[in-house]
């Protein structure tokens, strides 16, 4: 009895067959409840040999629709029943375009009625339907049928199988195309933004972002089948390798972007070196994959490990900056949080622990776009910081320029500033638009300065500058050459009479005394002036002429306005040349 019991236990038990799938009026039917599975470890069995071992098919006891990472060939069996007298049109769809090779056999009464070859290892135009997903049309007469699928791939065996009506399939395909187009369109806009800003600003962070974004977009195009459908339909070898390579390239950009935007080196040189090492390892993995040193599963593992590691390496620095209230840390944490949800979900999915639903299949694409949008905000902060830095540099430059061209005591243009104003005014003077150059020297300033002190003397000079600005036109320029000498530039004068009248107005401005330190000070002024273009158009010569006229007025009794005489031009030009 014991021997009989051992024989019974050792004998192969027939696998429990799944119930047939009834193709009723539903437009969308999940196929997995009726699927049984058989593993071909050798990968060499053909259809007839598999049919001979039909009893070895068994229900899948793991995650529905997900067999995880496998190196063997897997056969799937599905019994179908078409009720009623009318034939049924259905589309078998597997919404995981990364499968390399899928053979679909439709059997009726044990004979093969149709055979479709699918998968991204084949040119796209060889597929029976021009879709981004793996799909095969089925024409089923009323009665019983069998579907046999042979699946072999170097990627994970994610198999979300559904039987749809042609109308339902086209509707879902249109929605999928629309969503993919929106994602790609958004990504291209952000890519254009980053590249143009890199060209304009020459900030490497924008180029790093472009590399990160480009790698992520290429992965999504490959992962969801859009790339094989539109971009490389005749190069199926790209579809079998490009996804992990794109993720690794994105990791290279991500490590560089993180180090730059978070200034990781300032916070932790150790983490900075770690991130740099992750970037180097990712780049080395890309090169190794291109020359064939790493297989697809190895590249997939490296992409997952290095991608998550690059995020983990930057998280402490982002958290530290966020704790300090820095927006860049907050945005990076938000983006990484969304990315990690999508990346970890996808990692669990690819290893067979998660059912392939719409949310789990498309969560990574959504989280990646959210992360890219958050990092776009980081770039916006970087642009603002660069603008602020440029504004500070401009203000500092303007301040230095003002200090170099402004008299420190009165705030009026100094000799250098006067030269700039005079050169500009001389370019626009002409007969009927005369430029008058007045040189003023205060009378009796030295006794006031000696009696009241240098502080009071400085206050007098400031008051003189303010009074001149108040009495003259808004377009006139008042400058201080030094000591008690001032210069007034008046442009746009009609004739010499207008110039003389303005000189008299300057003289009249000193009739009222100045109030300094509670003391009334009476000052006079002697004014000498020259006119351009009549007296010349050389700036230094005109100032020399006005200076000569002023000294002539001093010698003639002071407190007067003196015009340069024509005979002084040659002497002034010679003096200017000598100076």
The DSSP code for 41 is: S
- pLDDT top residue among 297 and 402: 297
- The length of the chain is 579
Q: What is the pLDDT of residue 576?
A: 37
Q: What is the pLDDT of residue 375?
A: 86
Is residue 396, in this structure, part of any structural domain at all? Answer: no
Question: Which pLDDT band holds residue 572 (cuts at 50, 70, 90)?
Answer: very low
State whether residue 309 is helix, strand or coil: helix
Segment 350-358 shows an average pLDDT of: 91
Tens-digit pLDDT profile for residues 484-513: 899 999 999 999 999 999 999 999 998 898
Q: Are 520 and 469 part of one and the same domain?
A: yes
Tens-digit pLDDT profile for residues 87-125: 999 999 999 999 999 999 999 988 999 999 999 999 988
Name the domain boundary from 164, 190, 217.
164
Question: Which pLDDT band holds residue 8 (cuts at 50, 70, 90)?
Answer: very low
Closest CA to 187 of 223, 215, 217: 217
Q: Please say whether the beta carbons of 63 and 160 come within 8 A.
A: no
- Structural domain of 538: 415-578
Tens-digit pLDDT profile for residues 433-458: 999 999 999 888 888 887 888 888 88
Residue 467 pLDDT > 60: yes
Is residue 354, in this structure, part of any structural domain at all? Answer: yes
Residue 9 pLDDT > 60: no
What mean pLDDT is reported for the chain?
A: 87
Tens-digit pLDDT profile for residues 121-139: 999 889 999 899 999 999 9
Quote the number of domains for the chain.
3
Is residue 175, in this structure, part of any structural domain at all? Answer: no
Q: Are 243 and 381 part of one and the same domain?
A: yes
Tens-digit pLDDT profile for residues 221-278: 998 899 999 989 888 888 888 989 999 999 999 999 999 999 999 999 999 999 999 9
Is residue 395, in this structure, part of any structural domain at all? Answer: no
Residue 578 pLDDT > 80: no
Q: Are 194 and 329 part of one and the same domain?
A: yes
Residue 13 pLDDT > 70: no
Q: What is the pLDDT of residue 201?
A: 87
Residue 410 pLDDT > 90: no
Q: What is the pLDDT of residue 80?
A: 95
Q: Find the DSSP H helices in 11-62.
A: 47-52
Residue 360 pLDDT > 60: yes
Is residue 543, in this structure, part of any structural domain at all? Answer: yes
Segment 53-64 shows an average pLDDT of: 89
Segment 198-213 shows an average pLDDT of: 91
Q: Please say whether the beta carbons of 491 and 425 come within 8 A.
A: yes
Q: Are 146 and 203 part of one and the same domain?
A: no
Q: What is the pLDDT of residue 568?
A: 57
Q: Are 201 and 158 part of one and the same domain?
A: no
Q: Are 290 and 427 part of one and the same domain?
A: no
CA of 565: how far to CAs of 83, 227, 267, 526, 535, in Å?
A: 121, 87, 73, 16, 9
Question: The whole model's pTM is what?
Answer: 0.69
Largest CA distance in the chain: 149
Question: Which pLDDT band holds residue 575 (cuts at 50, 70, 90)?
Answer: very low
Give me 262's structure tokens: 């978070």
Q: What is the domain-level CATH number for residue 539?
A: 3.30.70.270
pLDDT above 90 coverage of the chain, percent: 48
Q: Please say whether the beta carbons of 521 and 513 come within 8 A.
A: yes
Q: Are 483 and 513 part of one and the same domain?
A: yes
Q: What is the pLDDT of residue 567?
A: 60
Segment 522-535 shows an average pLDDT of: 89
Is residue 520, in this structure, part of any structural domain at all? Answer: yes
- Do you find a cis peptide bond into 533, omega within 30 degrees of 0? yes
Q: Are 63 and 154 part of one and the same domain?
A: yes
Q: Are 236 and 368 part of one and the same domain?
A: yes
Closest CA to 381 of 261, 213, 272: 261
Backbone angles phi, psi at 479, to 5 degrees: -130, 155
DSSP string, 488-545: EEEEEE-SHHHHHHHHHHHHHTTSSPEEETTEEE--EEEEEEEEETTT-S-HHHHHHH
Give me 256's structure tokens: 């560089």
Q: How far, in Å, CA of 159 to CA of 152, rounded? A: 11
Residue 577 pLDDT > 60: no
| Ranges 12-16, 277-281, 494-498, most confident | 277-281
Tens-digit pLDDT profile for residues 309-345: 998 899 999 999 999 999 999 999 999 889 888 888 9
pLDDT above 70 coverage of the chain, percent: 95
Name the domain boundary from 164, 195, 215.
164
Centre a 10 Å sphere on the Cβ of residue 209 and count the other Cβ atoms it contains. Answer: 30
Torsion of CA 545, 548, 550, 552, to 10 degrees: -140
Q: What is the domain-level CATH number for residue 284?
A: 1.20.1070
Q: What is the pLDDT of residue 416?
A: 87
Torsion of CA 167, 170, 173, 178, to 10 degrees: -110
Q: Please say whether the beta carbons of 397 and 503 come within 8 A.
A: no
Q: Are 329 and 437 part of one and the same domain?
A: no
Closest CA to 299 of 486, 461, 156, 483: 156
Is residue 381, in this structure, part of any structural domain at all? Answer: yes
Q: Are 307 and 385 part of one and the same domain?
A: yes
Is residue 551, in this structure, part of any structural domain at all? Answer: yes
Segment 182-204 shows an average pLDDT of: 90
Q: What is the domain-level CATH number for residue 57?
A: 2.60.40.2380
Name the domain boundary from 130, 164, 198.
164
Residue 4 pLDDT > 90: no
Q: Please say whether the beta carbons of 156 and 71 come within 8 A.
A: no
CA of 305: how far to CAs of 95, 383, 556, in Å?
A: 25, 32, 95
Q: Are 317 and 385 part of one and the same domain?
A: yes
């Amino acid at each position: 009895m014991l021997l009989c019991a051992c024989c019974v236990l050792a004998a192969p038990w027939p696998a429990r067959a799944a119930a047939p799938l009834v193709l009723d009026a539903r437009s969308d039917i999940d196929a997995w409840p009726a699927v049984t599975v058989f593993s071909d470890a050798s990968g060499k069995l053909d259809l007839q040999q598999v049919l001979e071992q039909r009893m070895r098919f068994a229900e899948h006891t793991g995650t529905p629709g997900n067999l995880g990472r496998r190196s063997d060939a897997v056969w799937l069996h599905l019994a179908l029943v078409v009720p009623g007298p009318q034939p049924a049109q259905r589309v078998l769809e597997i919404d995981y375009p990364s499968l390399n090779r899928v053979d679909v056999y439709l059997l009726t009464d044990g004979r093969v009625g149709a055979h479709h070859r699918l998968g991204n290892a084949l040119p796209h135009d060889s597929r029976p339907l021009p879709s981004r997903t793996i799909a095969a049309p089925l024409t089923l007469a009323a009665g019983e049928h069998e579907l046999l699928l042979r699946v072999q791939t170097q990627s994970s065996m994610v198999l979300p199988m559904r039987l749809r009506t042609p109308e339902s399939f086209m509707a879902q395909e249109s929605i999928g195309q629309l969503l993919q187009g929106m994602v790609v369109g958004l990504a291209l806009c952000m890519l254009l933004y980053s590249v143009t800003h890199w060209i304009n600003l020459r900030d490497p962070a924008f180029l790093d972002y472009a590399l990160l974004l480009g790698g992520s977009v290429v992965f999504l195009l490959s992962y969801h089948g859009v790339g094989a459908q539109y971009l490389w339909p005749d190069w199926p070898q790209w579809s079998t390798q490009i996804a992990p390579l794109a993720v690794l390239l994105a990791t290279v950009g991500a490590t560089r972007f993180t180090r730059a935007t978070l200034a990781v080196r300032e916070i932790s040189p150790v983490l900075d070196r770690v991130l740099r090492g992750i970037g180097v390892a990712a780049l080395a993995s890309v090169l190794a994959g291109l020359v064939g040193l790493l297989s697809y599963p190895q590249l997939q593992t490296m992409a997952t490990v290095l991608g998550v590691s690059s995020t983990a390496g930057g998280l402490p620095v982002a958290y530290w900056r966020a704790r300090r209230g820095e927006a860049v840390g907050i945005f990076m944490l938000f983006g990484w949080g969304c990315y990690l949800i999508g990346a970890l979900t996808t990692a669990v999915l690819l290893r067979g622990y998660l059912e392939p639903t719409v949310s789990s299949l498309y969560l990574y694409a959504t989280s990646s776009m959210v992360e890219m949008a958050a990092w776009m905000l980081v770039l916006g902060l970087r642009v603002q910081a660069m603008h602020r830095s440029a504004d500070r540099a401009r203000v500092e430059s303007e301040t230095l320029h003002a200090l170099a061209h402004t008299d420190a005591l009165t705030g009026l243009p100094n000799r250098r500033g006067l030269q700039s104003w005079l050169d500009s005014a001389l370019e626009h003077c002409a007969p009927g638009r005369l430029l008058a150059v007045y040189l003023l020297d205060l009378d009796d300033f030295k006794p006031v300065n000696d009696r009241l002190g240098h502080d009071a003397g400085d206050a007098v000079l400031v008051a003189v500058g303010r009074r001149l600005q108040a009495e003259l036109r808004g377009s006139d320029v008042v400058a201080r050459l030094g000591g008690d000498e001032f210069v007034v530039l008046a442009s746009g004068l009609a004739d010499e009479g207008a110039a003389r009248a303005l000189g008299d107005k300057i003289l009249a401005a000193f009739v009222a005394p100045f109030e300094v330190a509670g003391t009334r000070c009476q000052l006079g002024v002697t004014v000498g002036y020259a006119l351009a273009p009549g007296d010349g158009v050389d700036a230094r010569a005109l100032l020399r002429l006005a200076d000569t006229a002023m000294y002539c007025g001093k010698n003639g009794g002071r407190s007067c306005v003196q015009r340069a005489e024509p005979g002084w031009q040659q002497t002034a030009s010679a003096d200017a040349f000598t100076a």
